[in-house]
Structures are given as structure tokens and as C-alpha cells.
């Protein structure tokens, strides 16, 4: 049994994922896999250095994420080039890990946290899609508060993704994370109960 979990940048995917794990789900996190595949020694890092130059590599050989982020969130062409290098490897590792966790414990829910699930057309790979939703203004405020970005940088990152309202419309299950953490927990309780009381009703 699996679901894809998505949303926009800083709408609360990790927060919701943590709550699902606390209730017994297993998690596969695309952002974490995206970091693994660009560690020093990995093929993707070599290709990134070839495409974007030494300015994105730090003195210790690791990726300068802030610099690469500034480049790719300012220019859709550059972003596409980075995605062409990283996405095939991310997708393959996600697929393998979700399948392994499902095989290990078929009764357990496996959650695939994928920020770009809809943008990448992956909605049909999973049995259902949950969207962590907050309105755009809350998203912007939380993103600036968490990452210390300027309002302009925050808008560029938000603008690089499908509109959160559109994701909410497409979702099988919406978690509104604009209230308190306790209010989000209560929604997760309802979801978890519906899951346990019968077939997945996403
Ligand atoms: C550009 C990079 C180096 C910036 O690193 P940084 O540490 O600042 O951000 P981090 O990786 O933690 O991502 C934060 C959020 O940015 C958003 N984001 C990341 N990549 C993209 C993208 N290509 N398009 C739109 N939004 C993106 C996601 O919402 C993600 O949760 C990094 O995000 C990256 O390598 N992106 C390409 C891989 C990718 O597409 N990852 C997204 C999930 S598969
Ligand atoms: N209900 C809430 N009330 C107040 N703050 C919240 C709430 N949920 C999450 N936050 C805060 O908002 C920020 C974004 O949340 P979170 O990191 O879970 O989002 P995300 O969607 O996983 O982000 P990303 O796309 O960057 O991975 C964090 O600083 C988090 O602590």
C-alpha cells in the first residue's frame, strides 16, 4: 500500500510526513535521495560540474547548493538542464526503495514524499496522492522564515513549481496545514482511521 505525498515548497510535506511516520508509515523522501545522488564521487555531481562549471563546487569537492539554487531558480532552461541530470536517477532510486519497503511489510503504508510529483507526471505511479496545502501567502511567509530567503528569491522558488491551488484540485486527499500543528495532527488522525477501517479510500 502506498501514497505519494506532495505540495509546494514549504507547504508542510516534511511536517505531514513526520506525522505519518509517527503513526507507523514508512517514508521515502525524494529531497533526501536528490542529495544522495550528488554526493562527491557520484556520477551526477561530475555531470553537474561539467554543465554548470566549478563555481557550483566548493573547495572540499561538495556541491554548492546555494549557488546552484540561485542559478536554476532564476532560469527555467538551467533548471531543465539540472533536472535532466538528476531526475532519472532520483526516480529509479525512489521506485526501488518504495518497492523494497512494500515487499518487506505489505501491511504498512509507504509514503513517497515528492515535491515535484505532479510536475513530473508521477501521480499514477502511486495508489493515491496526498497534498499538504497552505495558501500562497502562508507558503511565502513560511519559506522566508525557514530558509532566510529574500522575498524575491522566495517568489522565484514558488514560481518554479505548479501553483499550489492546482495541486489541491488534483489531490485525492488534502491536508490543510495552514492552521496550528495540532489542527494538522487532527486531520492526520482522521486520515489514519479511514485507512485502518477498510481499503484505502483516497
Ligand atoms: C537546486 C538545488 C541544488 C537547491 O538545493 P537546496 O538545498 O537549496 O534546496 P532543497 O534541495 O532542500 O530543495 C528545497 C525545495 O526546493 C524545491 N525544488 C528543488 N528542486 C526543484 C526544481 N528543480 N524545480 C522546482 N522546485 C524545486 C522543492 O520544493 C524542494 O523541496 C536542489 O534543490 C536540487 O538539486 N534540485 C534538483 C533536484 C530536484 O528536482 N529535486 C526536487 C525533488 S525530486
Ligand atoms: N502548521 C504549521 N504551523 C506553523 N508552522 C508550520 C506548520 N507546518 C509547518 N510549519 C513550518 O513551515 C516550514 C515549512 O514546513 P516543512 O519544512 O514541513 O515544508 P516542506 O513542504 O517539507 O518544505 P520543502 O518543500 O522545502 O521540503 C517549516 O519551517 C515548518 O516548521
Atom of ligand 2 nearest to the CA of 31: 27
Residue-wise pLDDT tens digits, 170-195: 999 999 999 999 999 999 999 999 98
Residue-wise pLDDT tens digits, 146-161: 999 999 999 999 999 9
Angle at 194 between CA 5 and CA 182, to 5 degrees: 65
Handedness of CA 77, 82, 83, 85 (dihedral sign): positive
- Quote helix, strand, coil % in the chain, to nearest 5: 55, 10, 35
Atom of ligand 2 nearest to the CA of 16: 18
For the cut 80, the answer to whether the pLDDT of residue 10 exceeds it is yes
In the chain, % of residues over pLDDT 70: 98
Q: Is 32 in the pocket of ligand 1 (CB under 6 A)?
A: no
Instruction: Tell me the pLDDT of the chain averaged across its residues.
Output: 95
C-alpha to C-alpha distance for 71 and 54, rounded to whole angstroms: 13
Residue-wise pLDDT tens digits, 75-92: 999 999 999 999 999 999
Could you tell me the distance, in angstroms and rounded to a whole number, from the CA of residue 127 to the centre of ligand 1? Answer: 24
Could you tell me the distance, in angstroms and rounded to a whole number, from the CA of residue 149 to the centre of ligand 1? Answer: 14
Q: Is 181 in the pocket of ligand 2 (CB under 6 A)?
A: yes
C-alpha to C-alpha distance for 183 and 57, rounded to whole angstroms: 42
Query: Are 5 and 111 a contacting pair, CB within 8 Å?
Result: yes
For the cut 70, the answer to whether the pLDDT of residue 202 exceeds it is no
Handedness of CA 193, 198, 200, 202 (dihedral sign): negative
In whole angstroms, how far apart are CA 119 and each of 15, 148, 160, 177?
21, 25, 10, 21
In the chain, % of residues over pLDDT 90: 96
- For residue 184, the SS3 value is helix
Please name which ligand lies nearest the alpha carbon of 80: 1
Could you tell me the distance, in angstroms and rounded to a whole number, from the CA of residue 153 to the centre of ligand 2? Answer: 17
The larger pLDDT score, comparing residue 26 to residue 198, is at: 26
Residue-wise pLDDT tens digits, 31-58: 999 999 999 999 999 999 999 999 999 9
The residue whose CA is least distant from atom 35 of ligand 1 is 34
Query: Are 12 and 175 a contacting pair, CB within 8 Å?
Result: yes
Query: Between 136-147 and 151-159, two packed helices, what is the crossing angle to 10 degrees?
Result: 120
Q: How confident is the model at residue 196 (pLDDT cuts 50, 70, 90)?
A: confident
pLDDT for the residue numbered 117: 98
Sequence-separated (6 or more) residues with CB below 8 Å from residue 86: 34, 37, 38, 44, 48
Binding site for ATP, by residue number, is 10-15
Q: Is 116 in the pocket of ligand 1 (CB under 6 A)?
A: yes
C-alpha to C-alpha distance for 100 and 90, rounded to whole angstroms: 15
pLDDT for the residue numbered 100: 97
CATH topology of domain 1-25+109-202: Rossmann fold (3.40.50)
Could you tell me the distance, in angstroms and rounded to a whole number, from the CA of residue 101 to the centre of ligand 1? Answer: 24
Interval 62-79 mean pLDDT:
96
First to last CA, the chain: 12
Query: Are 82 and 68 a contacting pair, CB within 8 Å?
Result: yes
The residue whose CA is least distant from atom 15 of ligand 2 is 12
| All structural domains of the chain with their residue ranges | 1-25+109-202, 32-91
C-alpha to C-alpha distance for 37 and 87, rounded to whole angstroms: 10
pLDDT for the residue numbered 98: 97
C-alpha cell at 105: 511489510
Atom of ligand 2 nearest to the CA of 18: 18
For the cut 80, the answer to whether the pLDDT of residue 200 exceeds it is no
Could you tell me the distance, in angstroms and rounded to a whole number, from the CA of residue 10 to the centre of ligand 2? Answer: 5
Amino acid at each position: 500500500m502506498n501514497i505519494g505525498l506532495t505540495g509546494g515548497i514549504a507547504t508542510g510535506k516534511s511536517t505531514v510526513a513526520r506525522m505519518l511516520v509517527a503513526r507507523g508509515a514508512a517514508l521515502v523522501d525524494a529531497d533526501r535521495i536528490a542529495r544522495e545522488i550528488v554526493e562527491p564521487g557520484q556520477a551526477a555531481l561530475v555531470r553537474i560540474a561539467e554543465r554548470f562549471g566549478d563555481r557550483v563546487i566548493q573547495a572540499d569537492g561538495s556541491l554548492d547548493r546555494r549557488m546552484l539554487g540561485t542559478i536554476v531558480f532564476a532560469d527555467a532552461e538551467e533548471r531543465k538542464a539540472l533536472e535532466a541530470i538528476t531526475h532519472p536517477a532520483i526516480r529509479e532510486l525512489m521506485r526501488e526503495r518504495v518497492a523494497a519497503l512494500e515487499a518487506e511489510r505489505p501491511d504498512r503504508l509507504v509514503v513517497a514524499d515528492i515535491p515535484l510529483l505532479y510536475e513530473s507526471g508521477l501521480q499514477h505511479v502511486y495508489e493515491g496522492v496526498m497534498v499538504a496545502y497552505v495558501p500562497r501567502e502562508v507558503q511565502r511567509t513560511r519559506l522566508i522564515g525557514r530558509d532566510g530567503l529574500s522575498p524575491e528569491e522566495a517568489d522565484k522558488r514558488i514560481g518554479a513549481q505548479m501553483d499550489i491551488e492546482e495541486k489541491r484540485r488534483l489531490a485525492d486527499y488534502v491536508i490543510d496545514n495552514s492552521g496550528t500543528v495540532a489542527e494538522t495532527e487532527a486531520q492526520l488522525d482522521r486520515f489514519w482511521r479511514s485507512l485502518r477501517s477498510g481499503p484505502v479510500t483516497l
